[in-house]
Structure 1
Amino acid sequence: MPSLAKLSLRSSVAGCALLAAVPTTLLNALPAAAGTSYQIQCQETGKPCRETETLLPLRVLPRPSASIFKSKDSAPGNVAVENVPAFRPLFVFAREGVDYTDPTNPKGWYQVGGGEATPEGWMPAKDVMEWRQALVVAYTHPGVGREARHPVLMFDNQAALEQIALGKDRESEAGKIYEAVEKGEKPKSVVSIEPKRFADIEDNFYVLPVLDFKSVTKFDDETRLLQLAAAVPGKRSDETNQTTLGNAAYAQASAAKATLSGDAAKGLRVDIVFVMDLTGSMGPFVESTKTAITDLTRAITKDPMLKEAVRFGIVGYRDDLRVEPKLEFVSKNFTPTLLQDTDFVSVIDQQVRASAVSSDDYAEEGYAGVKTALNETAWTDGALRFMVMVGDASAHEPGHKQSTTRLSAAELRHMANDQHVSVFSVHLKAQRYAKDHPKAEEQFSTLANNPGTSAPALFSFDADKPDEYATVVKQISSQLSELVDAARKGREVVPDTLSESATVLSSASSTAGAPAGGDAELKDEGWNPEARQKELLGPQADRPEVKEQAQKINEVAAAALINYLGGDTVRDLTFWAMDRDLIDPRKKALDVRVLVSKTELNDLIGALQKVTDALSTAEVAQLEFFTALQSVMAQTTTGTPIDFEKAQKLSQTELMPKWIEKLPYRSAIMEMNNATYEALTPDERVTLEQSLQSKLQYYVEVNANVDAWKVLDGRGADTAKVYALPLDALP
């Protein structure tokens, strides 16, 4: 088993590099020692082996064409399970005689099973690879248009990858490989390539375990060369469907671009949910929204096909009722079931209004509105999902007395990603509150930082110009509606082209299914999006800034289409790849994640709650950090005191779960002690506590999201479900 090389991840929190709240360094794993258990516990019969330091269950990845045997005998008549799916993780229940002295011919046996409950038999050490630390990677969104990244190239050995990635002619040599693949050729040492159709780990769950990696410092940002295995639960390869470039069918399929056409186009639906500040200052904009949506429905209702395919919703937010009960609600979903155009207009006309009562401060509970929209909306299955966040003030950050969600914009963005909700932010700037603008702008930008786009989908307007705001509301709703109309009328839409266009019309690369007369006949039949947008927007349609807004809207729609169209990934092979675009290393291609079970996440929730309580106690009572932590632990546990002579930092208190303490990454919060806490300024302490509180609440939200949890192996119990937690979501 190869040892892991160093892997660094840079970040900072609270303006203090020492106290980063996200991982900063992946450390060396312990090398496999010949003939030893190298800190693996396998004492309990019928229970999975666990790594001594992390207490994570030990798993192995079967090699292709391997079998499980009834006993430690590989005779043909002793087979229990033939042709085990390659690289699909199996739990280890016992290790006997394992010896990696000769890495090409390991000795010994593993007792394995698909779930944690019961072993199924034995596999020779030569037929499996140990997979520790639960580290996997996920493909990043490939992007659209000029900002799109290149597909991941997969090499059969490390040296071949290094020759390209670290060579003087990297860009040229990588370009030649891509050109060869496009021609249907198989370049030397390149075993496969990531398909152009995006495989999203949230929808089409796959496992790309990290077996080995090496950091390189050639580029401005730290880059990693990764050895990965590939597996897709429930699917496996055979001689006819291998996902390699040696398979002509796969090579051809992998080169196919994502294009909206056929059944996928005819079944396209769109959900558009407005999340609006409904405090008193927003009165004019509430009315502008009503007018804009009413104007839009006049166009939609003319076409029954379009009317049926577009659904609307609205969520209002105000502020914490504990401060001002007369505000009536913190957040309210007026449309838990999304509505067609005319029904939606009736709801906003009759029910949606700005409050006549002022809140306690300028900031509002915008995060509550976003959370309500995400969690309490019956989003249409299979639809493109969009949220339009509208407000004139910043939101209360976690830790603020009026924060009801304890979430930050970053964690809400994670939640939106999990549910495939694209966000447009509309920030209305009142000059008298100019001091709030930078904070609100940062929050709105984070929420609107949609995967695959070149910049946040943020629109900022002078609060004294509600007409300009109304224009962008009409644009967002009408352009998304026209996209559905184009698809349903048989036009082929290419996301890359759409992302660079200001109209849906110019995004169509063909007229598949269109009348024989082409575009002219489509327009004669009533399909003329340019004319309809000009009718809707009036003279403003030709203004340069309005066209820029249109292009930004189309880019978000194009990125969402990439997700909608989806695709499969490689499976049942091992390979080396770079975690960044080989031609443009500025672009990330692979994100490192850690697979956690519900038990492991619950352990983290309990421990992190104690840490945040200790930070709060230390601040309020003016205590040293460890003293406050000991006080919190005494109230929630047996009160075993911390031995300060041994525990010089948080990681040595045995409070945090062992699996996170010993994972091969380092978070500086684990280095916290009295001295580092004392060195923080008051503002840094507040920011640190807010960050941890937000992550804690995010874990709670993930735990409750049934759809987020995936089964690694269909034979495993429900308790074996895992979630691929991004490393930047760890404390």
Structure 2
Amino acid sequence: LAYSREKASEKKEIPHSGNEGQAIAEDPKQLASLHEKSPGEGITGRHLPPTTDKTDITESSPKKAKVADAERRPLLMEGKKTLFQRVLTRPGALLNRVSQNDGNTEDVWKKVDPFTIFCVFDRKSFMGRNWVEVGASTSGPTEGWIDERQLIDWKQTLTVAFTNPAGRKRTLLFRDKNYLIDLVDSCNAVARSEALRQTIQQGAIPEDFPVISIEPATHIDIQKQFYLLPILDANEVFLASGFNVRALKIASVTLDEGDQDLIIKEENRKSLVQEAPKQAQVMTEFRAGVVFVIDSTTSMGPYIDRTREAVRQIYDKLKKADLLGQISFGLVAYRDNIDKVPKLGYVSHVYGNLRDGERPSILLEKISAVQPASVSSQGFVEDAFAGILSAIEDMNWADYDGRYLILITDAGARRGNDPLSATRMNAEQIRRLALDKGIATYCLHILSEVGKKNHESAAIQYQSLTEYPAAGSLYYPVEGGSVQEFGFVTDLLAGAFVDQVIDASKGYVAKDIANTHSDKKDSSPSDSGKDQQHPEDSGKISEIKAKTLLVGRAMQLAYLGKEKGTQAPRLFEAWISDRDFLSPDTPTVDVHVLLTKNQLSDLQQTLKTIMRAGKASMESSKGFFDELRSAAAALSRDPNEIGKSKTSRLGEQGLLGEYLDGLPYQSKVMSISDDLWSSWSIGEQQDFLDEVEAKIRLYEEYHDDVDRWIALDAGRVPGDAVYPVPLDDLP
């Protein structure tokens, strides 16, 4: 299901005529035929419960009923104090509302779109069936009653999104949990899964085939097209290899009611077979944006000049290929905190944006103004993350399908806990913001002799910053600070981006190098053979080209998915593995928790409390949990519940919101106990608090990111809008 916030589905009302109705079908496949008839056999002449529990609309005015209805709140989940029950509708679900018109009472039946999300306000048995009273918003009003058999309980607002399939096999979706677990845990899982793929590709699919569907060949970017694949259940499997894999039960929607065995149907087989897609024409419109983020402090003069030269050479190459409009460049320069050293001039500055880069003469003129600082910054590290954040947020990336950011620096970045940091974030949070916009971050780290003491810590930062799904780290050190070596790597990277655009203009998609061992197959039509020019660097060249090819393919698959209107698989309920069979360290899905603005705000305030308590305990004789107990009242939590046991974990103290309970992941914050905290060194405690502080800053970015808030209730209550927060970003 591609759940679009921009397109509201129309719903068709079906008045109940009174006596020609048919029973609501046990089999969803029968529902389609029933929509043409009234669906209330067995309840003809007997109305479902009215839509309010305080006001009977047959005895009171509709106005009073509406007021009473609006005051109601949904039912709470069992054992919870703040979480409301939610349900999803199955295909063919019908909503019944008893209405009053000119003194006459009638049943109005409405066909509800599959996967509509409702809050549960009441549950009752009526005429031998269980019915659920539902409403779109937590604050009401209710909309009517739906047969319980046409609903799915959604216990946690967990949803998955497929990761980009570049570099791995497409995910298989199974009808049976036990079959999937047996497959994952077997010693020949790869061979068995390949046999299933071969069966799908050949089209000779038996009726008892264990696979229901398969992931699309192209990528659906959830940042641009939100879709809902809610997790209904999860089981963890520990493999002999040491990896743990989760079997997830997810739900989606079929386009035809009751149509669940999709790959069995003859007309669906062709769309699921990996045929060569007719995409050449689509690929010719592929455009790329490349932004250099360059350190412009005193030591960087030669590298600034060489970067300008690289841009000039690339423009010449594009001009010869008549492709100047297909790739654009931008440049952001950064220095450091200007409160301490005002003469630095700026923390970060956009010298040329991507729109400027579409016209070479304009961009080259603007970036010619970039000069190294005339004074030194405070210490050796600089605010590289401020420059990167500016490139992420201040550039207009919307018109570009391939998105590349190249950081050029000779020093480490200020950490989030550094008072001079402008972002208050660490590498992990900056990386997440870049990936959320589909940007791949590269780093050319100049290992000059003067910064030798900083090399190791900076490398750790930048390896984390440049981690890209399936490709790994895009960090490349320049040994000895050689300007010649720097220029070679810069030309190689930028040239690879240009080659991808040139190939795309001819209709080519970057090769899938997953499980490919032939160098010939890996080569691109525009491969320029630089390996022979620098044989001593052949290993580095091969790595850069292979990873850039993989990153490019991922971006092109996302582009094709957008342009071709790719949707998630058309199935209803299925089991998937959250890891690739061939490479268990490669995730097949990203798991998100849908948090409301109130929940995100509560989470941020709780983390601030935890951070303050941690800092206070480091400066006093009181324990960590003693400090938390003192702060609990400010969060409307029960102080008596905090720290009852020295071994109790933070997640058991009632301090963090209920929406984090029972999530299928290991949380560092929630696993903290007073004993564990006390066993840590001062440095370990500070690292933990730094991580907490960086997440607080990240939540501020999420709060301000208006484009990604999703109104699941069509915008009726702004506070009910949700943000898809990745599990990794939770505390």
Question: If the length of structure 2 is used for normalisation, what is the TM-score?
Answer: 0.80
Deviation string, structure 1 residues 272-319 (Cα, Å, up to 9, x no partner): 11111111121221111122222222223345x411222111111111
* 1:78 paired residue number: 107
After TM superposition, list the pairs within 5 Å mapping 1:175-194 onto structure 2.
175-187=194-206, 188-194=209-215
* 1:330 paired residue number: 347
Distance 1:375 1:43, change over 3 A: same
- How far the C-alpha of 1:229 sits from its partner, in A, is 1.0
- How far the C-alpha of 1:391 sits from its partner, in A, is 0.8
| 8 A Cα contact 1:197 1:256, kept in partner | no
Distance 1:598 1:382, change over 3 A: farther
Deviation string, structure 1 residues 454-490 (Cα, Å, up to 9, x no partner): x3122111243111111222222222123223322x3
- How far the C-alpha of 1:166 sits from its partner, in A, is 3.5
| 8 A Cα contact 1:197 1:258, kept in partner | no
- Tell me how far apart the structure 2 counterparts of residues 449 and 629 of structure 1 sit (CA, whole Å): 35
One-letter code aligned to 1:449: E
1:226 and 2:248 equivalent?
Answer: yes
Partner SS state of residue 480, structure 1? helix
Distance 1:272 1:595, change over 3 A: same
Distance 1:295 1:587, change over 3 A: closer
| 8 A Cα contact 1:319 1:329, kept in partner | yes
After TM superposition, list the pairs within 5 Å mapping 1:201-350 onto structure 2.
201-219=222-240, 220-231=242-253, 237-238=255-256, 244-256=262-274, 261-303=279-321, 305-336=322-353, 338-339=355-356, 340=358, 341-349=360-368
- How far the C-alpha of 1:550 sits from its partner, in A, is 3.1
- How far the C-alpha of 1:698 sits from its partner, in A, is 1.0
- Tell me how far apart the structure 2 counterparts of residues 213 and 464 of structure 1 sit (CA, whole Å): 50
- Tell me how far apart the structure 1 counterparts of residues 544 and 213 of structure 2 sit (CA, whole Å): 39
One-letter code aligned to 2:559: Y
- How far the C-alpha of 1:259 sits from its partner, in A, is 6.2
| 8 A Cα contact 2:392 2:434, kept in partner | yes
Distance 1:594 1:624, change over 3 A: same
- Tell me how far apart the structure 1 counterparts of residues 257 and 274 of structure 2 sit (CA, whole Å): 22
After TM superposition, list the pairs within 5 Å mapping 1:528-677 onto structure 2.
529=526, 539-540=533-534, 544=538, 545-566=540-561, 567-621=566-620, 623-629=622-628, 646=644, 650-651=650-651, 654-661=654-661, 663=663, 667-672=667-672, 674-677=674-677
| 8 A Cα contact 1:60 1:128, kept in partner | yes
- Tell me how far apart the structure 2 counterparts of residues 504 and 181 of structure 1 sit (CA, whole Å): 24
> Unaligned regions of 5+ residues in structure 1, if any?
1-41, 99-104, 509-528
Deviation string, structure 1 residues 50-92 (Cα, Å, up to 9, x no partner): 33526223111222222111159xxxx835322x233332221
Distance 1:660 1:69, change over 3 A: same
- Tell me how far apart the structure 2 counterparts of residues 154 and 599 of structure 1 sit (CA, whole Å): 35
- Tell me how far apart the structure 1 counterparts of residues 178 and 231 of structure 2 sit (CA, whole Å): 17
- How far the C-alpha of 1:447 sits from its partner, in A, is 1.8
Aligned residue pairs, count: 643
Decide which moves more: 419-428 or 318-327: 318-327
Distance 1:496 1:106, change over 3 A: farther
- Specify which of 469, 475, 493 is matched with residue 509 of structure 2: 493
- Tell me how far apart the structure 1 counterparts of residues 320 and 451 of structure 2 sit (CA, whole Å): 42
- How far the C-alpha of 1:564 sits from its partner, in A, is 1.9
- Specify which of 91, 95, 118 is matched with residue 64 of structure 1: 91
* 2:18 paired residue number: none
Partner SS state of residue 323, structure 2? helix
* 1:374 paired residue number: 392
Q: What percent of counterpart residues are identical?
A: 26
One-letter code aligned to 1:608: L
- Tell me how far apart the structure 1 counterparts of residues 260 and 366 of structure 2 sit (CA, whole Å): 53
- How far the C-alpha of 1:541 sits from its partner, in A, is 8.8
* 1:46 paired residue number: 72
Partner SS state of residue 494, structure 2? helix
- Specify which of 469, 473, 476 is matched with residue 486 of structure 2: 469
Distance 1:682 1:497, change over 3 A: closer
- Tell me how far apart the structure 2 counterparts of residues 243 and 391 of structure 1 sit (CA, whole Å): 54
| 8 A Cα contact 2:429 2:694, kept in partner | yes
- How far the C-alpha of 1:502 sits from its partner, in A, is 8.9
Partner SS state of residue 455, structure 2? helix
- Tell me how far apart the structure 2 counterparts of residues 190 and 572 of structure 1 sit (CA, whole Å): 11
- Tell me how far apart the structure 2 counterparts of residues 606 and 483 of structure 1 sit (CA, whole Å): 45
Distance 1:541 1:338, change over 3 A: farther
- Tell me how far apart the structure 2 counterparts of residues 138 and 287 of structure 1 sit (CA, whole Å): 42
- Tell me how far apart the structure 1 counterparts of residues 82 and 567 of structure 2 sit (CA, whole Å): 33
Distance 1:97 1:463, change over 3 A: farther
| 8 A Cα contact 2:626 2:643, kept in partner | no
* 2:29 paired residue number: none
- Specify which of 524, 532, 535 is matched with residue 507 of structure 1: 524
Distance 1:653 1:493, change over 3 A: closer
| 8 A Cα contact 2:334 2:347, kept in partner | yes
| 8 A Cα contact 2:212 2:571, kept in partner | no
- Tell me how far apart the structure 1 counterparts of residues 636 and 132 of structure 2 sit (CA, whole Å): 39
- Specify which of 94, 106, 122 is matched with residue 94 of structure 1: 122
- Tell me how far apart the structure 2 counterparts of residues 334 and 377 of structure 1 sit (CA, whole Å): 11
- How far the C-alpha of 1:179 sits from its partner, in A, is 0.4
Distance 1:720 1:244, change over 3 A: farther
- How far the C-alpha of 1:641 sits from its partner, in A, is 5.9
Deviation string, structure 1 residues 163-197 (Cα, Å, up to 9, x no partner): 43334543333222110001123351322121222
- How far the C-alpha of 1:640 sits from its partner, in A, is 8.5
| 8 A Cα contact 2:282 2:560, kept in partner | yes
1:199 and 2:220 equivalent?
Answer: yes
- Specify which of 342, 355, 370 is matched with residue 352 of structure 1: 370
Question: If the length of structure 1 is used for normalisation, what is the TM-score?
Answer: 0.80
| 8 A Cα contact 1:259 1:494, kept in partner | no
Distance 1:277 1:725, change over 3 A: same
- Tell me how far apart the structure 2 counterparts of residues 656 and 639 of structure 1 sit (CA, whole Å): 9
> Unaligned regions of 5+ residues in structure 2, if any?
1-67, 100-105
Partner SS state of residue 338, structure 1? helix
One-letter code aligned to 1:693: E
- How far the C-alpha of 1:655 sits from its partner, in A, is 3.9
- Tell me how far apart the structure 2 counterparts of residues 503 and 361 of structure 1 sit (CA, whole Å): 48
Distance 1:501 1:165, change over 3 A: closer
| 8 A Cα contact 2:606 2:635, kept in partner | no
* 1:511 paired residue number: none
Decide which moves more: 543-552 or 411-420: 543-552
Decide which moves more: 462-471 or 266-275: 462-471
Partner SS state of residue 423, structure 2? coil
* 1:423 paired residue number: 441
- Specify which of 146, 149, 156 is matched with residue 126 of structure 1: 149
| 8 A Cα contact 1:114 1:715, kept in partner | no
- Tell me how far apart the structure 1 counterparts of residues 404 and 609 of structure 2 sit (CA, whole Å): 37
One-letter code aligned to 1:87: F
- Specify which of 476, 494, 499 is matched with residue 482 of structure 1: 499
| 8 A Cα contact 1:142 1:151, kept in partner | yes
Deviation string, structure 1 residues 683-717 (Cα, Å, up to 9, x no partner): 10111011111111111111111222233354755
| 8 A Cα contact 1:500 1:551, kept in partner | no
